[in-house]
Amino acid sequence: MTGPVLVLVGPPGAGKTTVGRLLARRLGVSFRDTDADVEAAAGQSVSDIFIGSGEPRFRALERAAVKDALAEHPGVLAVGGGAVLDDGTRAELRPYPVVFLDVGLADAVRRVGLARDRPLLLGNPRAELNRLLLERRPHYLDVAAATVMTDGRAPEEVAADVLQALAA
């Protein structure tokens, strides 16, 4: 099987991009983020896709981006927080070494901030983020071989735990 040496899943604010870049450097591989792939394919930001075309269009682009990245990318892959909502995407993720970067509400809120660039968190970001955490958690756990908590921890510590989880 080709594809990523590691896939990171988790909610907004979990640190997938930051930790993913660190892990890619440590492993001597490249880093890829499916949200960036979606933006490149659409020629606009995730927020603009949501506003202009709606969530169903974004999810379709996201499904395609995850499928392509799993087939093509040999490094560390960060998957958009909501990608796990799709049954087909979860099935495609299962054969890979997936680590769920878990984060509690307080840390997620602090990291995400006012969420101007996160359309699903508009309105009451704290309440919406809590809803997303609760809704998606079972799906993250479903696809992950390991879970690493990120609350109150430096990205370097989280990366070390991810590598330890991979080795186990």
pLDDT tens by residue, 130-139: 788 889 999 9
Look at residue 123 in the predicted model and tell me its pLDDT. Answer: 54
CB-CB contact of 152 with 21 (8 Å): no
Indicate the DSSP class of residue 155.
Answer: H
Q: Examine the pLDDT at 121 and tell me if it is beyond 70.
A: no
Tokens 């054969």, residue located: 95
Confidence of residue 37 (pLDDT cuts 50, 70, 90): very high
**Between 76 and 118, whose confidence is greater?**
76
d(CA 80, CA 10) in angstroms, rounded, equals 8
| Per-residue b or e along 51-65, where b marks 16 or more CB atoms closer than 10 Å to that residue's CB | eeeeeeebbebbbeb
Q: What is the mean pLDDT of the chain?
A: 87
Q: What is the DSSP letter of 120?
A: G
In this predicted model, what pLDDT tens digit does every residue of 55-107 receive, in sequence order?
A: 889 899 999 999 999 999 999 999 988 899 999 999 999 999 999 999 876 66
Confidence of residue 128 (pLDDT cuts 50, 70, 90): confident
Tell which wins on pLDDT, 166 or 100.
Answer: 100
- The full set of domain ranges for the chain reads 6-167
Q: Distance between CA atoms of 167 and 73, rounded to whole angstroms?
A: 21
Q: Is the pTM higher than 0.95?
A: no
Q: How confident is the model at residue 167 (pLDDT cuts 50, 70, 90)?
A: confident
- Residue 17 amino acid letter: T
Which is more confident, 32 or 107?
32
Superfamily holding 6-167: P-loop containing nucleotide triphosphate hydrolases (3.40.50.300)
